[in-house]
Structure 1
Amino acid sequence: MSHTERTWAAYPTATVTGYPRIGPNRELKRALEALWSGKISPAEFETAARSVRLETYGRLTELGLNQPYAVPADFAAYDQVLETAAAVGVLGGAAGDLDWEEYFALARGTDDRPALEMTKWFDTNYHYLVPEIGPDTVFTPRPQRVTALVEEAASAGHTVRPVLVGPVTLLALSKAAEDYPNFRPLDRLDDLVKNYAVVLAALAEAGVEWVQLDEPALVADFDAADDDQLAGLAQSAYSTLLSAAVGDERPQIAVTASYGSLRAGLDALASVAPEALTVDISKPTLQADPDYIQRITAAVPQLTHLVAGIIDGRNIWAADLETQLETLRGFDRPVSVSTSTSLLHVPYTLEGEVNLPVDVAGWLSFAEEKVTEIEALAEALATGTTQSREVAFARAARAQRTRTESARTHNDAVRQRTAALPAEVSRGDVNERRAAQKARLGLPDLPTTTIGSFPQTDDVRKARAAFRAGRIDEAEYTDTMRAEIKRVVDLQEDIGLDVIVHGEPERNDMVQYFAEHLDGFVTTANGWVQSYGSRCTRPPILFGDVSRAEPITVPWSSYAASLTDKPVKGMLTGPVTILAWSFVRDDEPLSVPADQIALALADEVSDLEDAGIPIIQIDEPALRELLPLREERRAEYLQWAVRAFRLCAVGARVDTQIHTHLCYSEFGQVITAIQALDADVTSIEAARSRMELLDALDDGFHAEIGPGVWDIHSPRVPSTAELEDLLGAALKSIGPDRLWVNPDCGLKTRGYRETEASLRNLVHARAALLGIRQGAGVAAAAHV
């Protein structure tokens, strides 16, 4: 039978656009770290990764995704952008497949080469690796990376849907190769589409009937191309890919547009009519774009199968199934039911979360529960009744009712305090503050410090776990933490750092730790979510109004200060980052809990000052992360985000130096907002991008700045010469009286060997630069 006579598989009526891939008990994380440490071989790692994949396929089938192609094969050993880049060939190199050594060298770097730059995936806390593309980059497709997944699944009895980042999004998220700073990777689209066609042909040869291409770039505004330009590029790319006849030349293509609503991209995709189109119609998207469903209905032709991404893939609240069912019934055609985004952003399951308050647990749905919601909606659509899924609909209705009626979500005292806040929030004149802080601190030019955390040893982790489990008492736990703090302080003194931190051994995570000490949050026991590679976090759940019952960080910072005569820096996580890295309320604007968290942190700042701490860092690495994807919504966000940060420090003394830290996002778009934070010192990720951010600074940027010179997300130890080179580049933009010397981020994920070596090199590089600068001054004076 020829392909033109063949009946091709319909798109599944219930599916997800993606699923967590670290394993329900972080099996992939452990396998990765065992491979990197040499404890297992590449072959053993491949076996472990294969087990995670096949167990996921089996579990999703058990949950009801049992139609052909309902289960996505979106696995990546480190990151889906790196995986797609390898498959379609933008990483260059020979036609052979990448071995694990080369693959992870791109992700993590080696002693001889830095890793690829890493930044945030749209407005999420997931990090992706940024491909670097130039006009002469050789594109070498490796379709075997994708066909191998299909064949592996088929051998276990699963018909899976391969998933790739789409060509427009892949190039929109790439950066110009170092030698071509003004080049636009999107200009290589025609070349890249040819490689996608090669991969699609290989999938067709392997018998695949559906492939998913993710194009979230079409719901965002980019500097490199506006909405109309991206839409035009998508129309061109998919005209080419779809022009091949379905069958021997390519599978059917399902394009997915997650994280928001399509604008010009909707008409562009509709005009080329892919076989299926997944649109994000989750509650947050429809709140921002109320007419989106009407536009979809009007634009998308009947020959394109519509997939409704109605179950929120980014938050953990139980779905309102009755309301969503009515929404789905309003379409003018049959639709499939799916998630708005990949479920990569939520934990695996509520099963086993026995420590959550019973009422709060009843309001939640994690990945497995969301699959059940999807399956219930799809069944109700197909049968016209909810009776066969009565349990799922009853649970959903109970969640909506009990959450609305709960008294736990509201605190009158907190509401009254935020209502009394002033409209304008300011610490006063920056020059007055700088003079007072200089007199109090007495720091040299190019002061050295770290971002806050130090490596967390097995002994520290075991002590925290034992304390939580009740196997040791508070006194023994405190003694263990104090011993670690003393070790860290002594190490910093020995290395010669100018500003000391306590190392944060008591903190499991920079957001979770604060959530555990703030009313209005709950935390999970096993709610792990992948951030990048093997890095996982347990996002807290914000369910109610926020307040602080007692000091959180003061005892630890005070103890560190008692061990040294050098300035000690107190460490807080800022309100925007706490929100960005938590699952937040969906029943009010984010600006409301932002103010509440800010006031709780302002109380902490006051207590740290009373304890004699002269420097307080309020970390906001997620400031750029929460920036809305559409331009017209950004000003409102930045206004309340900046205000919340300033509320934290508005009562601080003029001689208390307020720091902030930002990392792993493209910050050029928000540089004005970073300045408006009005921090005295801003440290920021800059090593992988080689100080690119400094090009965006102008004369209005008054803060002292610490552009990171050591990429802590790679295990490599930068040489003194390399650090001198980066600091020298920074000195071209920032004077030595305003430039700080520090790593890119906290050191929690590093080991002590590379930490000590890197910090010693950092101090030596600073000393060498000061010697060069002072020597140059002496020579100039002699010449005069």
Structure 2
Amino acid sequence: MLKHNLGYPRIGVRRELKKACESYWSNKIDSNQLFDVGKQIRKENWKIQEKSGLDLIPCNDFSFYDHVLDMSLLLGVIPKSYHSAVSSTTMMIDDHNIDIYFAMARGFQKRGWDIKAMEMTKWFNTNYHYIVPEFDKNQKFGIFSKKIFDEFEEAKIVLKSIPKPVLIGPVSYLFLGKEKENSFQKMDLIENIVPIYIQIINLLKDQGANWIQLDEPILVFDLSRKEIESFQYAYQEISKCCSEMNILLTSYFDGISENISLFRNLPIKALHIDLVEDPEQLESILNFLDNNTKKMILSLGIIDGRNIWKNNYVNSIKKIEIAMKVLGEKRVMIAPSCSLIHVPIDIEYEHSIHSDVKKRMSFAKQKIYELKDLEDVIKGNKNLLSKNLNSLEKTKNSFLFYNQKVKERVTQIKNKDFQRKSSFKIRQKKQQKKFHLPIFPTTTIGSFPQTKEIRSLRNKFKKKELRKEEYEKKIEKFIVDVIRKQEEINLDVLVHGEFERNDMVEFFSEKLKGFLSTDNGWVQSYGSRCVKPPVIYGDVLRYKDMTTKSICFAQSKTPKLMKGMLTGPVTILQWSFVRDDQPISTTAYQIALAIRDEVKSLENSGIQIIQIDEPAIREGLPLKKKNWKFYFDWAIKAFRISSSVVKDETQIHTHMCYSEFNDILSHIADLDADVLTIETSRSKMELLKAFSEFSYPNEIGPGVYDIHSPRIPTVKEIFDLIQKASNRFPIRNIWINPDCGLKTRKWDEVMKSLKNMTRAAKMAREKLLNNNPTPSTNSS
């Protein structure tokens, strides 16, 4: 029984990769220094996995920004503009083509070149973001980058065993991309791309590889006929031309039972399935393999690659023994359910977690050791089984986990708790009469730059080097300063800047019972952006105001409207590691009731506009449509519990970003937020077509510039985007805003960009309103 891993966190225990990348981008280190940091992280990762006793250790799972972008660079899927710009402004492109790579991810503004970053969206139903490949009809593929080959050689030197290279499979890679024109379908490119995969695999074989992992998470979807044909063609060709290579084909994030027939007569060596997300698929998969192929190995994904709780060895051993009974020991492998990039690295770096909770937790390093434990239990070590059971059962009834009053409040939720008092049309009239905002009102999504000074201030307060009163006074100075900046920019609706907040979820978790924050539980979100997801271990209770004091202070310093800023219940849930001992809907309602109480507190204190962000509502969506109804039932109810407590005159905003919304628009409308702000700038407002065709009924703020790139948008390009929006929506329903919060940007970029945004809004009021004197009608 082989033990293997699909991928290991690449940020470094102390976020070394983040710091190195950001130093490179700011010209503080050169590319050689950057590559040295990457090399050290890889070496440490390989050594940890080797020490754990893994039989197959992955390589090429490391990335300086994003593994999908790595694949684009490897295959030469590089828009000409990036290649031309970097080549003309860089003295010499290094062997890793790192400047082209980062230009694609972050945009490029240098020596007369001004190129936007490529589109970014969520990786399936996770909070990880990937850079979307772009294909044209005559797309050429080739081997452009040497990274995968260099890292294989590097791993061979470090490891005693032969490493297992990891690649996104050809069908999923095409699926994840987008066509730059409408005259073809991306799956039409399968015959062009497969020969390059074959070349790559054979080159790795020549280097000594005997296993290669091809990730095809697309298999969890309801596949179209075209996708099925593409899959069958791709793997018949790969199997035929790479017969000496052991192909491990992996899929994860859900079950593949509906697509298992694709593997009939497919001579791949091993198939990996996710038994955490869909444990019920095991029986049908085993039945198929037993009746249709007598050689294929089955890899059981039994360690949760997306959550931080210890594995239940009893449950896992049952699955392993069932598989071994049908297939035999040699045809069974065990692994985490998916890559471990979705969990923190090492629980041993946590020193402030209550021991009753910590005993139940397991991070990436611990998870790969759990595989060794399971192997030893199978071989007869029953002490490990008893130890595991004790750690899970001992704390089961701890007072830390349960609060009877919270549980009773959830059972008392009534239908009226999900409903605003009046319809949107009635609310809109009342709000317009109350606020007197101009056409195309301007605002931001919430956060402003978190400078070193602010982070240092929060850190000193956390370490108790600053008294609470002194800390709050300093934060108030930052709030006043950002209000003056917004007034200077002439924004219409202001925010307080969120300087007291470390993260939009972690901040609230620290003020709610039933949550804990880790010290070093960092997880990559995109590029150098890392988050520290809180842990929901018990019943959730709001026991005091969380934001009211700072928001009311901010409102007292300006005559303009000040938004209250909250994170919604679904996002708090999705961006946390959630307890696994009760239905997820119950936990969602507990959080929703806590946010509801905060919303009411803000309204009672005079705050008239409240934003409840739900950027994660799309990513929580099950990958199979048959499971959507159940998800939306509780997710929409959770949002409406939190938002429906206010009067008609109080305006509720929500924000969503970097997701595909086309197929869930009716559910977004069911949230019934007065104003929805969304990301549309990277896709050049393509998303608005879907919202328009759906006739989205409420007000909308399409993001007019991309905050994830350092480039400064021009007044003209922002105006053009506003004009596009005004061709599709009633002018009175359009807000003007960036596409996300400004926390990660620098002040110089922010001020220039927002000034251009407000100038563009003013231009739109002058030009577009004159052209459309009846803004209440749709001009599309």
Identify whether the pair has TM-score above 0.5, normalized to the shorter chain.
Answer: yes
- Residue 457 of structure 1 corresponds to 451
Query: Which of residues 745, 751, 766 in structure 2 aligns to 1:750?
Result: 745
Query: Which of residues 88, 97, 100 in structure 2 aligns to 1:99?
Result: 97
Give unmatched runs, 5+ long, in structure 1.
1-11, 779-784
Letter of the aligned partner of 1:286 in structure 2?
P
CA distance in 2, matches of 1:686, 1:271: 44
CA distance in 1, matches of 2:183, 2:411: 48
SS in 2 for 1:737: helix
CA distances 1:401-444 after superposition (whole Å, capped 9, x unpaired)? 12433333221111111111113521122121111111111100
Deviation at 1:562, TM superposition (A): 0.7
2:22 is the alignment partner of 1:33: yes
- Residue 507 of structure 1 corresponds to 501
CA distance in 1, matches of 2:572, 2:319: 33
CA distance in 1, matches of 2:298, 2:59: 17
Contact conserved, 1:142 with 1:199, CA < 8 A, in 2?
no
Question: Which range moves more in the overlay, 92-101 or 463-472?
Answer: 92-101
The 5-angstrom pairing of residues 9-48 of structure 1 reads: 13-48=2-37
- Residue 781 of structure 1 corresponds to none
Deviation at 1:352, TM superposition (A): 2.4
Query: Which of residues 80, 90, 93 in structure 1 aligns to 2:67?
Result: 80
Letter of the aligned partner of 1:78 in structure 2?
Y
Q: 1:517 to 1:295 in 2, by over 3 A?
A: farther
Deviation at 1:308, TM superposition (A): 1.0
SS in 2 for 1:572: strand
Q: 1:362 to 1:182 in 2, by over 3 A?
A: farther
The 5-angstrom pairing of residues 19-168 of structure 1 reads: 19-65=8-54, 67=55, 69-91=56-78, 99-111=97-109, 112-142=114-144, 144-158=146-160, 159-168=162-171
CA distance in 2, matches of 1:604, 1:264: 44
Contact conserved, 2:360 with 2:391, CA < 8 A, in 1?
yes
- Residue 718 of structure 1 corresponds to 713
Deviation at 1:362, TM superposition (A): 0.6
Deviation at 1:147, TM superposition (A): 0.7
2:310 is the alignment partner of 1:310: no
CA distance in 2, matches of 1:295, 1:566: 66
- Residue 352 of structure 2 corresponds to 355
Letter of the aligned partner of 1:305 in structure 2?
I
Q: 1:488 to 1:629 in 2, by over 3 A?
A: same
Question: Which range moves more in the overlay, 548-557 or 410-419?
Answer: 410-419
Q: 1:770 to 1:350 in 2, by over 3 A?
A: same
The 5-angstrom pairing of residues 304-343 of structure 1 reads: 304-331=296-323, 332=326, 333-334=328-329, 335-343=332-340
Q: 1:46 to 1:345 in 2, by over 3 A?
A: same
CA distances 1:378-406 after superposition (whole Å, capped 9, x unpaired)? 2333x3x125xx3x434421232124333
Give unmatched runs, 5+ long, in structure 2.
85-92, 774-780
Contact conserved, 2:43 with 2:158, CA < 8 A, in 1?
yes
Letter of the aligned partner of 1:84 in structure 2?
M
Letter of the aligned partner of 2:168 in structure 1?
V
Query: Which of residues 759, 762, 769 in structure 1 aligns to 2:757?
Result: 762
CA distances 1:166-208 after superposition (whole Å, capped 9, x unpaired)? 001001111111xx13532111111111111111121112111
Contact conserved, 1:218 with 1:230, CA < 8 A, in 2?
no
CA distance in 2, matches of 1:776, 1:126: 42
CA distance in 1, matches of 2:399, 2:467: 34
Contact conserved, 1:267 with 1:300, CA < 8 A, in 2?
no
Contact conserved, 1:143 with 1:202, CA < 8 A, in 2?
no
CA distance in 2, matches of 1:38, 1:607: 46
Q: 1:740 to 1:592 in 2, by over 3 A?
A: same
Contact conserved, 1:460 with 1:480, CA < 8 A, in 2?
no
CA distance in 2, matches of 1:710, 1:239: 44
- Residue 246 of structure 2 corresponds to 252
Q: 1:538 to 1:434 in 2, by over 3 A?
A: same
- Residue 9 of structure 1 corresponds to none
The 5-angstrom pairing of residues 77-476 of structure 1 reads: 77-91=64-78, 99-111=97-109, 112-142=114-144, 144-158=146-160, 159-177=162-180, 180-181=181-182, 183-221=184-222, 225-226=223-224, 229-247=226-244, 251-282=245-276, 284-286=277-279, 289=281, 291-295=283-287, 297-298=289-290, 301-331=293-323, 332=326, 333-334=328-329, 335-381=332-378, 383=379, 385-387=380-382, 390=383, 392-423=384-415, 425-427=418-420, 428-476=422-470
CA distance in 1, matches of 2:768, 2:144: 50
Q: 1:497 to 1:204 in 2, by over 3 A?
A: same
Q: 1:299 to 1:237 in 2, by over 3 A?
A: farther
Question: Which range moves more in the overlay, 562-571 or 158-167?
Answer: 158-167
CA distance in 2, matches of 1:508, 1:671: 31
2:436 is the alignment partner of 1:478: no
CA distances 1:246-282 after superposition (whole Å, capped 9, x unpaired)? 34xxx32111111111134322134313111111112
Deviation at 1:735, TM superposition (A): 2.0
TM-score under structure 2 length normalisation:
0.93
CA distances 1:22-48 after superposition (whole Å, capped 9, x unpaired)? 011111111111101111001110111
TM-score under structure 1 length normalisation:
0.93
Deviation at 1:294, TM superposition (A): 4.2
Aligned residues: CA RMSD: 1.9
Percent of counterpart pairs with the same letter?
Answer: 40
CA distance in 2, matches of 1:352, 1:23: 12
CA distance in 2, matches of 1:347, 1:239: 37
Q: 1:71 to 1:394 in 2, by over 3 A?
A: farther
SS in 2 for 1:279: strand
Contact conserved, 1:215 with 1:256, CA < 8 A, in 2?
yes
CA distance in 1, matches of 2:263, 2:395: 39
CA distances 1:75-121 after superposition (whole Å, capped 9, x unpaired)? 11111111112112333668996611110000111121111111111
Deviation at 1:777, TM superposition (A): 6.3
CA distance in 2, matches of 1:776, 1:414: 55
Query: Which of residues 655, 672, 683 in structure 1 aligns to 2:677?
Result: 683
CA distance in 2, matches of 1:157, 1:628: 38
SS in 2 for 1:351: helix
Question: Which range moves more in the overlay, 588-597 or 18-27?
Answer: 588-597
